[in-house]
Amino acid sequence: MQSQDNPPGDATHLATSVEDFSLDTFLPYRLALLSSLVSRGIQNIYAAEFDISISEWRLIAILGSDGPMAANDIRQRAAMDKVQVSRAAAKLLEAGHIRKQVDPGDRRRATLFLSDSGEKIFNQIVPIALEREAFLSSSLSEKEKSNLIQLLEKLTKIAKEMTITTY
Amino acid sequence: MQSQDNPPGDATHLATSVEDFSLDTFLPYRLALLSSLVSRGIQNIYAAEFDISISEWRLIAILGSDGPMAANDIRQRAAMDKVQVSRAAAKLLEAGHIRKQVDPGDRRRATLFLSDSGEKIFNQIVPIALEREAFLSSSLSEKEKSNLIQLLEKLTKIAKEMTITTY
DNA sequence: GAAATTTAGTTACAAATGAAACCAATCGAG
DNA sequence: CTCGATTGGTTTCATTTGTAACTAAATTTC
């Protein structure tokens, strides 16, 4: 039984009743599907060309665009959990793409920053990332793009409220 | 150096140059962040109340809304890979939430369908899922919602083309 | 100023995931 | 027929991830 304003096959309306339910219009599923497709594509590139993972790339991206900061700041900035950050940092340190300088005032903290090779990777990856992003969103108009980011932002805000996280 | 039409702090415009680059406006990151927040929230509910994972829920959702089908059809329908489907099906079989009937014409194939307990879970979860979805998208107008689904659909189509998958 | 608490970050272990190899049934060309 | 290729699905193994426990430094409390 379909309601009047949710005609069958119209994937642009969210379902409101059990009878209407379909994964196709179920927002969490659509998001998960798209995100996994996109991430996978990107991951392959980063892994093949630079031998780094997505979370390592995130650290590089943050340190590259925002400048040096402590692991904990990265955690907040990128909504990663501390284990993720710690692991990514450990790998990047070992690979020599970042360095750490222990804060003399508080020896628990250490400021992380890109090494020369880290800078280099950042400068190389950004254009590739932007190019892929451009291609991905090539079917959208400028207006649609900004619209999308705005919508995602709204949803993210609510999703954060709904989840009890340590982020 | 910011370009004229990408003012700093305006998260609604995608970056176009290395100087502009920020994770905040990087679509793949925004998607990954939102998707992981949403999935995590949902996963907790499904796990706590029904002891099933996200992929198991997907099988139930598909079998519940589209009716019985073979594992391979589920794979296509839900853009899951065959290992995922196989594992989810194995667990659901063991838990007694689905059953399988081997196709006598082609003994490699088997049709999967919900058992009574599977039906029950489906009927219980759908309202919860829809409620959460409604809450998640409560900050969006009807128009924005349908807009969003449409945009996600466009992106998904392109993302699929960009990725060489077995899906 | 010693004991309890909090904060920053790491480590350890279990569960989830991904890639590739694998098995078994069917199809299809010669 | 029959031997190679394809299809449907499972298993194996290595890597990733998530949760919780843990260390070490700093801060607070009494």
Confidence of residue A25 (pLDDT cuts 50, 70, 90): confident
pLDDT tens for each residue of A48-79:
889 999 999 999 999 999 999 999 999 999 88
Residue A95, min C-alpha distance to chain B (Å):
22
User: Nearest CA to the C1' of C16 belongs to which residue?
Assistant: B53
* Chain B CB contacts of A132 below 8 Å: 28, 162
Among A32, A137, A151, beta carbon nearest to B155: A137
Phi, psi (deg, nearest 5) at residue B88: -60, -45
- Dist. CA B111–CA B26, nearest whole Å: 42
Residue numbers of chain B with a pLDDT score lower than 70: 1-16, 164-167
Query: Exposed, middle or buried, A83 (CB in 10 Å: 0-12/13-18/19+)?
Result: exposed
A contacts of B127 (beta carbons < 8 Å): 18
The dihedral of CA B144, B145, B151, B152: what is its sign? positive
Please state the length of chain B.
Answer: 167
DSSP labels for B93-156? HHHTSEEEEE-SSSTT-EEEEE-HHHHHHHHHHHHHHHHHHHHHGGGS-HHHHHHHHHHHHHHH
Give the pLDDT confidence score for residue A79 in this predicted structure. 86
Tell me the pairing of strands A69-70 and B110-114: unpaired
Residue nearest to nucleotide D25 (CA to C1'): A108
- Chain D nucleotides with an atom closer than 7 Å to a protein C-beta: 7-12, 16-20, 24-27
Convert A104-125 to b/e letters by CB count within 10 Å (16 or more is b): eeeeeeebbebbeebeebbeeb
Residue B99 contacts strand D, CB under 7 A: no
| Closest CB to B12 among A33, A146, A158 | A146
Judge if the beta carbon of B123 is closer than 7 A to nucleic acid strand D: no
Q: Is the dihedral of CA B12, B13, B15, B19 positive or negative?
A: negative
Helices A82-95 and A71-78 cross at an angle (nearest 10°) of 120
Residue of B128, B148, B157 to mutate, interface with A, max A Cβ within 10 Å = B148
Residue-level pLDDT at B13: 62
Closest among A108, A104, A112, A110 to A68, alpha carbons compared:
A112
Q: Tokens for B137?
A: 């998208």
Q: Can you tell me the distance from the alpha carbon of B40 to that of A75, in angstroms, rounded to the nearest whole number?
A: 17
Which chain A residue has the Cα nearest residue B163?
A41
Tens digit of each residue's pLDDT (9 = 90 or more) over B15-28? 667 888 988 889 99
Global pTM value: 0.86
| Residues whose CB falls within 8 Å of the CB of residue A55, separated by 6 or more in sequence, listed in order | A80, A84, A85, A87, A88
* One-letter amino acid for residue B128 of the chain: I
pLDDT of residue B166: 52
